[in-house]
Chain A
Amino acid sequence: MNIFLSVELLDSALPARIMLLGGFIAVFFSLKSKDTEGHVATFLFSLFYLLVRDIALSVLSFPGLLFVTDLVYVSIASFVILAGFDRRRVLGFPLVFINLAALAVFVLQEWIKVPLGIPVGLLPLVIVVDGIYLSVLGFYHRRLRDSQTRQLLRVIWPMIGFSFILYGLLASFTAYDNVRFFSLVVPLSYWWYLAAGLISFRMQDTQMVQACSYYEESIDSLYNLFVATGSALRGTFAIDDVLKNLNDTLIAETNADGGLIFLVDEFDDQISVKAHSGAFPPPFPLPESLPRKQNRIESYMRHLHFSLDETIFGEIAKSGSDLYIPDARNDARIADNGEEDFLYLSSFMAVPLMVEDRIIGLVAVARTTKDSFFTESEFDRYKLLANFGTLSLSHFFSFLEAKERSGLKQSADTAAEIQKAITPKRIPQFPTLQIGAYTQPALGVSGDYYDVIQTRKDRVIGVVGDVAGKGVAAALVMVMVRSILHLVTNTTRDMGTVLDWINRGMTGKVDIDHYATLAVMAIDLNTGEVEFSSAGHQPLLIYRRASDTLETVDLQSVPIGVERAAEYTRKIIKLAIGDIAVLYTDGIVEALNEQGKQYGRRGLSSMITRHKDLAPKEIVAKIKSDLSSFVGSTRQHDDQTVLVFKMKH
């Protein structure tokens, strides 16, 4: 009787076994796509080994081949069990040695025929020993559950151990020579694969459900966060409210006892607390001088500010890295400030607030209950919330900026309207006097004002002024000056008195930062007599045709609106035929070119002498083009206005 081979018996059970193995392989292939730890591959390897073995058994007919391949099968199974334990895989080696020894005995006794006197029926008991060894391995590692592979082992080790023990016992009992052994027992030794496969499916499923509920909760938290920060926008537009709501949401969503928000001060390289809620024991060493009293510590925390890199908070704001300290009591990074209850910090996490690559601040939460620690998943949630919180903060900042900008633009538009309304629509011309004017605002709205007023048949008044500042306030000052001027110019009093009146009308009525320089000039159309007065304005330029020279007429005086008691004087000059008088604002003489050089009175003077024969309109056109080629693309910061008068026949 050849007890280790019986081809006829094998033939009957084989196709079913191969189909069974094929099904198991399919199960593990579908598990493989979601396997992150690689243990499914070891299952597949061992299943393929069994498939090859069963096919080989049907083709080859070595005596005892089934027993030899069983020894290999058990050895491989031991590594399937140990797949999740990197360093402990050596524990599989004793089993391999036992199997090698059994193999050696079998080969010597049955194939080489060395009489060792060991009953053949006892050899399959090695598989029983293997099964016991695998059970011990499984039992020993049953408490480890920190990975999927290890969790799977916890469940399947009794099945593996049991199936091998039973298999070995039956093999020994039947001496591998029984129809039922081949048709029932051998396939049954594969059944634990199915169990492992199904359990793996269930584990993947649970994991997915957990992930889903984690994300669901995260979405809920984010929703709460946006509702909280958004509701501040409906109220006051105050940044403090937004930060407080953000802080409260972060505390609520992480089940923390207290939270802080710091913002980085752009100019000072420091961070300061902008929101403080709940209890937040300081994680950094407190100054010795600070009394250890609850209310003192609390108000100290509420008004913290640090340089970047000072204390644990400053370091986070500088480095931009997260900090997760679950057990703050036993961590060297957290300072121990004393034993009082309100100084007890049990758990701590902090995350920087980043907009693109810029750190705008940081948030931190604390737990103060003994042994209550933030978990990893709470830390993940916190990071997520902090990132979205930064996003809504940065939107809020952009919104404030846009609001401010639109306000500025609106005010600029209004001012421009006012200015347009008070600028002369056309410059009057007279038989004996020609006038040309040019004005160019620097940034949308001009602070310059000019006017030509005919008060009598033979008297024309030219005015050029410059109001300090821009926008609506400056435009209103301009309107006031203009109204007073139009009211009082029709007088027989001199121009100095006119400026006195304007000054008295303005001083105290407008803010001191809205003062104006003003130059007025009354021209007698018949005689060419000019009466000039100035309130802190640029000197009058006069070109004398007879001598072909330029004169400047200057008067020392203070601007309008500064000093109520200021007294303005006047000068009388006579213009002859062909003489030119020029009023202008400092924007003209202080215009800068790309080299930072000023246009100067010299630039203006040379244009006048060069074009002395042209009409005033043409002279201002020449000045305009010369000035624009002088400054090139340099941005001008002051308005430019020039008013040219020329006497003719």
Chain B
Amino acid sequence: MELKIRKNGENYIIDVNGEMDLYNSYKLKELVMKMLEKKVERFIINLENVDYIDSSGIGALIYICSTIKKMNFKLIITNIHGSVKKVIELTKLMGYFPITNSIEEAIQQMDE
């Protein structure tokens, strides 16, 4: 799994590349925690290039989401598709995660 950070105004977009499984989900968690320490307040996690996620990946997303919510910062997860979408639907988390279909929509939603 590879993580890249882009900046769009106040928004930090994290592009996740590869699989989110037991062996690497912690990386995303660590990255977000570090960014929180550096006072980043708006996160967009782009899962466009993620084709596989397992329970630890879901766990990492839940952890990130609840942490950011607790701090009253903003998080949006975008471009969920394929088997990742199915897993999130199966675990009934579609309503829990703030989700948009595209980065464009995520940025619009952030700016409101």
Contacts and interface: CB of A to CB of B under 8 A. Distances in A.
Interface of A: 267-268, 291, 295-296, 299-300, 302-305
Contacts of A305: 81, 101
A363 B55 CA distance: 38
Contacts of B66: none
Contacts of B105: 296, 299-300, 303
A305 B104 CA distance: 15
B33 to A, nearest CB: 28
Contacts of A267: 82
A304 B101 contact: yes
A128 B43 CA distance: 91
Contacts of B109: 296
A296 B104 CA distance: 9
A287 to B, nearest CB: 10
Contact of B102 (A268, A291, A295, A302): A302
A268 B85 CA distance: 10
Interface in B69-112: 81-82, 100-102, 104-105, 108-109, 112
Contacts, number: 24
A304 B102 CA distance: 9
A303 B46 CA distance: 14
Given A267-B82, A268-B82, A299 B102 contact: yes
B81 A302 contact: no
Contacts of A299: 102, 104-105, 108
A372 B109 CA distance: 33
Interface of A is mostly: mixed
Contacts of B102: 299, 302-303
Nearest to B78: A303
Contact of B112 (A268, A291, A304): A291
A303 B101 contact: yes
A439 to B, nearest CB: 37
Nearest to B109: A296
A295 B111 CA distance: 12
A296 B108 contact: yes
A467 to B, nearest CB: 25
Given A268-B81, A299-B105, A304-B101, 5 more contacts: A268-B82, A291-B112, A296-B109, A299-B102, A299-B104
8 contacts: A267-B82, A268-B81, A268-B82, A302-B102, A303-B101, A303-B105, A304-B101, A305-B101
A267 B81 CA distance: 11
Contacts of A302: 102, 104
Contacts of B108: 295-296, 299
Contacts of A300: 101, 105
A291 B108 CA distance: 11
Contact of A303 (B82, B104, B112): B104
Contacts of A291: 112
A166 B50 CA distance: 89
A304 B104 CA distance: 12
Interface-central residue, A267, A296, A303, by most chain B CB under 10 Å: A303
A299 B102 CA distance: 8
A603 B104 CA distance: 61
Nearest to B95: A289
A490 B22 CA distance: 50
Contacts of B81: 268, 305
A266 to B, nearest CB: 11
Contacts of B104: 299, 302-303
Nearest to A267: B82
B45 to A, nearest CB: 16
Nearest to A268: B82
A299 B112 CA distance: 14
B109 to A, nearest CB: 8
B44 to A, nearest CB: 14
A302 B108 CA distance: 13
B78 to A, nearest CB: 9
Contacts of A304: 101
Nearest to B80: A305
A296 B109 CA distance: 8
Across chains A and B, which 5 residue pairs bring their CB atoms closest together, nearest first? A303-B102, A303-B101, A299-B104, A299-B105, A268-B82
A302 B101 CA distance: 9
Contacts of A268: 81-82
A268 B81 CA distance: 8
